[in-house]
Amino acid sequence: MSAEPTLLLLTDQPSLRLRLLREDEAPDLFALTERNRVWLRAWLPWLDNNTTVAHSLAFIQTNRRDYATGARLACGLFFKGQLIGMAGPHVIDHANRACQIGYWLDHAHTGRGLMTSAVRALVAHAFTAMNLNRVEIRAASGNHASQAVCERLGFIREGVIRDAEWLYDHYVDLTVNGLLFREWQATQADESVP
**Chain centroid offset of residue 118 CA:** 8
Using CA atoms, how far apart are residues 131 and 180, in angstroms rounded to an integer?
11
**Residue 1, domain member (yes or no):** no
Is the C-alpha dihedral spanning 106, 177, 7, 63 positive or negative? positive
Is residue 2 in a domain? no
Rounded Cα distance, 28 and 77, in Å: 12
For residue 99, the SS3 value is strand
Residue 167 maps to a domain? yes
Using the 8-state DSSP alphabet, how is residue 161 labeled?
Answer: E
- Domain-embedded: residue 172: yes
Give the model's pLDDT for residue 194: 57
Q: Between vectors from CA 61 to CA 167 and to CA 31, what angle results, nearest 5°?
A: 60
Tell me whether residue 65 is in a domain. yes
Instruction: Determine, yes or no, domain membership for 117.
Output: yes
The pLDDT, as a whole number, for residue 4 is: 47
Residues 102-156 pLDDT 10s: 999 999 999 999 999 999 999 999 999 999 999 999 999 999 999 999 999 999 9
- Regions of the chain short of the pLDDT cut 70: 1-7, 190-194
Q: Give the number of other Cβ atoms within 10 Å of residue 176's Cβ.
A: 18
Is 3 a member of any domain? no
CATH number, domain containing residue 86: 3.40.630.30
Q: What residues does 177 pair with on adjacent strands?
A: 137, 157
The pLDDT value recorded for residue 192 is 58
% of the chain residues with pLDDT over 70: 94
Residue 5: DSSP 8-state:
P
- Can you tell me the distance from the alpha carbon of 186 to that of 80, in angstroms, rounded to the nearest whole number? 32
In the chain, how many domains are there?
1
- pLDDT at residue 2 in the model: 42
Phi first, then psi, for residue 96 (nearest 5°) are -105, 5
Q: Which domain holds residue 23?
A: 8-192
In angstroms, the CA 101 to CA 73 distance is 9
